[in-house]
């Protein structure tokens, strides 16, 4: 049984109000790119859904682009590409968007002078940020960072948690890659995620992060729109969670497509307020609807 992820309070609220229901785009008309959630959407745990590869082939034939998207900042984009390749999906680096990449773009755009970071993250995350030109400061009061970044640190050690609290308490700009308190798992454990690490820092210092990226913040969709020069109505966010995937689509003004192959059951989808733009049983049904929409667009 997968655990439900409860988003932690967010300190940044630049939420675009949802249009009135009657004006929302309920069709796939105009969609040229899909942002694909991974767990629960293209695979479950380590098992790829049977419909995923035929669906990706169909997207290619239809000329619809796609980007795989994840909140999980414990693995680098390169790690994810390797994981996808093992599952039989040959993705290019440009087809992946993680909350670490969202953090890199956020820092570059909003804090261009910040280079030196104290990072609570895995070696993979730290390596990815170093590759983007950031300097990871040491666990030392003498190695002063310009900001603190917290990710899903599956290698968390007490001394580094204390050092992060030290800099947070001293008022350094403080950013988190995503709000998830726990990471879903089928294993007999609780995977303490970025949001819970931030909650520990909040207890110690009284501060939540200044900015929390990752779903449901629309920054990841904005990043994909920017990469591909698209308007929000050209992009459909496809995912299995109402409170992250569908909430992010709504906030970004993109089309929200809920698949019922993951966390959300059909009854919950029917009761959802506001409802997703489209609910499908899985990727096979979405493929049919995309093909129909394309045929209508072509006047066939």
* Interface residue list for Mg ion (CB under 5 A): 37, 39-40, 240
Cα–Cα distance for residue pair 147/271, rounded to 1 Å = 42
Which residue lies nearer to Mg ion by CB, 37 or 128? 37
Which residue lies nearer to Mg ion by CB, 119 or 237? 237
Q: Shortest distance, CB of residue 145 to Mg ion, whole angstroms? A: 32
Residues 223/217, Cβ–Cβ less than 8 Å: no
Which residue lies nearer to Mg ion by CB, 180 or 240? 240
Which residue lies nearer to Mg ion by CB, 153 or 240? 240
Which residue lies nearer to Mg ion by CB, 71 or 136? 71
Q: How many CB atoms lie within 10 A of CB 299?
A: 5
| Closest-CA residue to 67 (of 58, 57, 56, 76) | 56
Q: Shortest distance, CB of residue 171 to Mg ion, whole angstroms? A: 35
Q: Shortest distance, CB of residue 178 to Mg ion, whole angstroms? A: 13
Residue with the CB atom nearest Mg ion in the bound state = 40
Q: Shortest distance, CB of residue 144 to Mg ion, whole angstroms? A: 38
Cα–Cα distance for residue pair 56/13, rounded to 1 Å = 34
Please, what's the b/e burial string for 20-33 (b: 16 or more CB within 10 A of its CB; e: otherwise)?
A: eeeebbeebeebeb
Q: Shortest distance, CB of residue 12 to Mg ion, whole angstroms? A: 23
Q: Which residues contact 128 (CB under 8 A, 6 or more apart)?
A: 76, 77, 78, 100, 101, 104
Q: Shortest distance, CB of residue 246 to Mg ion, whole angstroms? A: 11
Strands 43-44 and 47-48: antiparallel
Which residue lies nearer to Mg ion by CB, 39 or 146? 39
């Amino acid at each position: 049984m997968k655990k439900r992820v409860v988003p932690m309070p967010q300190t940044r609220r630049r939420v675009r109000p949802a249009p009135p229901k009657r004006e929302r785009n309920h069709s796939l008309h105009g969609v040229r790119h899909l942002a694909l959630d991974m767990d629960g959407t293209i695979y479950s745990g380590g098992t790829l859904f049977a419909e995923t590869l035929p669906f990706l082939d169909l997207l290619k034939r239809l000329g619809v682009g796609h980007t795989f998207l994840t909140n999980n900042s414990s693995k680098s984009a390169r790690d994810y590409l390797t994981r996808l390749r093992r599952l039989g999906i040959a993705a290019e680096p440009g087809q992946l968007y993680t909350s670490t990449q969202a953090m890199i773009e956020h820092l570059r755009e909003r804090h261009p002078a910040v280079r030196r970071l104290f990072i609570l993250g895995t070696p993979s995350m730290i390596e990815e940020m170093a590759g983007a030109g950031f300097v990871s400061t040491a666990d030392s009061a003498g190695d002063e960072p310009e900001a603190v970044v917290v990710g899903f640190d599956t290698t968390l050690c007490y001394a580094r948690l204390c050092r992060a609290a030290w800099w947070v308490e001293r008022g350094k700009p403080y950013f988190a890659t995503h709000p998830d308190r726990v990471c879903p798992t089928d294993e007999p454990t609780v995977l303490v995620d970025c949001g819970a690490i931030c909650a520990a820092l909040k207890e110690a210092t009284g501060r939540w992060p200044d900015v929390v990226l990752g779903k449901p913040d629309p920054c990841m969709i904005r990043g994909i729109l920017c990469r591909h020069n698209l308007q929000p109505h050209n992009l459909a966010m496809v995912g299995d969670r109402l409170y992250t995937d569908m909430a992010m689509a709504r906030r970004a003004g993109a089309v929200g497509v809920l698949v019922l192959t993951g966390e959300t059951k059909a009854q919950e989808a029917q009761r959802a307020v506001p409802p997703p733009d489209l609910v499908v049983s899985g990727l096979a049904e979405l493929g049919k609807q995309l093909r129909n929409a394309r045929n209508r667009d072509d006047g066939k």
